[in-house]
Amino acid sequence: MTEPSDLTDLTDLTRLTALQLLSGYENGAFTPVDVTRAVLARVEEVQPRVNAFVRVETEEALARAEESAGRWRRGEPQGLLDGVPVTVKDILLQRGGPTLRGSKAIDPKGPWEQDAPSVARLREHGAVFVARTTTPEFGWKGVTDSPLSGVTRNPYDTSRTSGGSSGGSAAAVALGAGPLSLGTDGGGSVRIPASFCGIFGLKPTYGRVPLFPASAFGTLAHVGPMTRDAADAALMLDVISAPDSRDWSHLAPPSTSYRTGLGDGVKGLRIAYSPVLGGQVAVKPAVAAAVRGAVSKLAELGAYIEEADPDFADPVDAFHTLWFSGAARVVQPLGREQRAQLDPGLREITLAGARYSALEYLAAVDVRMELGRRMGLFHETYDLLVTPTMPITAFEAGVEVPKGSGHRRWTGWTPFTYPFNMTQQPAATVPCGVDEDGLPIGVQLVGARHQDALVLRAAHALYMSGAAGAVNGLSPAPPAGS
């Protein structure tokens, strides 16, 4: 990664992490205005090919960057992210413009006067809002296309999907359109696209990042950072994890910074490696090999590795009950004409969700509670669980499931992600290689509830060891369309 002191061209600014940008602001190597202009130019360059943005906020971004530059000149930075460009998934409220959530059914007139809690915290810490990123309609599936904004494509191969539902955010970070993005994750929606696009993504413990308004998908829904690396994610989590009174389920503020102890490594940690969840999942050979390589690196760094599977069967039926019911609730206020405009797949699952009884929903909650109990016991033995993030790499853009896969819904190809939304555990994806087509592969690190710092620490160890450096943002990601 280029260091600030080595910069010879302002286009290099789009390659830097948030921490590197802050260092550059402090030592005067460049200003937030320089960085914002470079990022906006990058947005303009890549948007026609990947379609990662629904709105670019040029004037606001430059105005906030000018204000930030003035504070840095005075030696009075505002908070932890002053002048750092960020993008926000178009699911989360951001005052001053519509949050359309990938749907033609939402009236853009507003008023739009509130920030979501995580957006408010970024604003308070001086972040520069550059653009809103694409999402499937209401974030319902694991790829990013919608009736409103069309198809979002993969930065490594534009014929492939970026993943979803935070696919625009993942593509933005991978392509240098800001080092930080806010995503949401109800069944893998941070980790799926982060894995497909070769960046870092964290789904924190439920309640760690407050959410408002409450998601119709209930306590499956998390807000998390999507970044170049684990160190930036720790910094971002320090900001967005502050409590917010609008979310009654938020956790108490963390007792210390997530950057404290980030470099303590993995020596002595007990790590379970589950390559196929006990034979339940077919994993692409290239994925299996790359993930095994990451596990070997953790062993070299001093972790105790044991191949062990968590004690649960695939909870997909219970997840569908919870997820489809939530989707039905999302569209319940819509009229007939609005429903006719919905993504056909979304319309289909809402009809299924509306047929579940309260008893069936509560039975799914029972499955979830038992799954959480089993994972709690599992983590009495193991500090972390390691799996592939995805069993496959990015497939054709514009479809919900890979052609010929036999899957009916997106959950068929995401078996490693949604179980940990049901258990509310922290889970991160770290890039660990590429397949034969040059498409990124991710390794998933799962911790016990409230062990977000440990997940970040293990992920940071992989970055520091070089095991994650092969697929990290624009170094050495190819340009869009290549």
pLDDT digits (tens, 9 = 90+) for 303-359: 999 999 999 999 999 999 999 999 999 999 999 999 999 999 999 999 999 999 999
**Which of 103, 118, 146, 165 is labelled catalytic?**
165
In a domain, 479, yes or no: no
In a domain, 481, yes or no: no
Helix (H, G, I), strand (E, B) or coil at 406: coil
Q: Per-residue pLDDT tens for 358-367?
A: 999 999 999 9
**Which of 89, 141, 203, 297 is labelled catalytic?**
89
Total domains in the chain come to: 1
Assess whether pLDDT exceeds 90 at residue 3: no
The residues, ordered by sequence, that sit 6+ positions from 64 with a Cβ below 8 Å of its Cβ are 36, 126, 127, 128, 129
pLDDT band at 470 (very low <50, low <70, confident <90, very high): very low
In a domain, 349, yes or no: yes
pLDDT band at 32 (very low <50, low <70, confident <90, very high): very high
- Note the pLDDT of residue 468: 84
274 is catalytic: no
HSE-CB for 178 with a 13 A CA cutoff: 37
CA 234, 199, 311, 302 torsion-angle sign: negative
165 is catalytic: yes
pLDDT band at 480 (very low <50, low <70, confident <90, very high): very low
In a domain, 125, yes or no: yes
- Note the pLDDT of residue 11: 52
The residues, ordered by sequence, that sit 6+ positions from 48 with a Cβ below 8 Å of its Cβ are none
- Note the pLDDT of residue 9: 52
Q: What is the CATH number of the domain that holds 319?
A: 3.90.1300.10
Helix (H, G, I), strand (E, B) or coil at 308: coil
Helix (H, G, I), strand (E, B) or coil at 451: coil
Helix (H, G, I), strand (E, B) or coil at 236: helix
Instruction: Write out the residue range of the structural domain in which residue 157 sits.
Output: 10-244+261-465
Buried b (16+ CB within 10 A) or exposed e, 25-38: beeebbbbbbbbbb
pLDDT band at 467 (very low <50, low <70, confident <90, very high): confident
pTM of the model: 0.95
In a domain, 4, yes or no: no
Q: Per-residue pLDDT tens for 40-95?
A: 999 999 999 999 999 999 999 999 999 999 999 999 999 999 999 999 999 999 99
In a domain, 2, yes or no: no
Closest CA to 231 of 388, 35, 16: 16
pLDDT band at 7 (very low <50, low <70, confident <90, very high): very low
Assess whether pLDDT exceeds 60 at residue 476: no
Q: Label residue 245 left, alpha or beta by phi (over 0 means left) and psi (-120 to 50 means alpha).
A: alpha
In a domain, 473, yes or no: no
* 399 close to 344: Cβ distance less than 8 angstroms: no
Per-chain mean pLDDT for the chain: 94
Run of H or E residues at 345: helix 344-355
Q: What is the mean pLDDT of residues 274-295?
A: 96
189 is catalytic: yes
Share of the chain above pLDDT 70, in %: 95
In a domain, 1, yes or no: no
* 132 close to 53: Cβ distance less than 8 angstroms: yes
- Note the pLDDT of residue 469: 56
Look up residue 230 and give its two tokens: 């684990």
Q: What is the mean pLDDT of residues 444-472?
A: 89
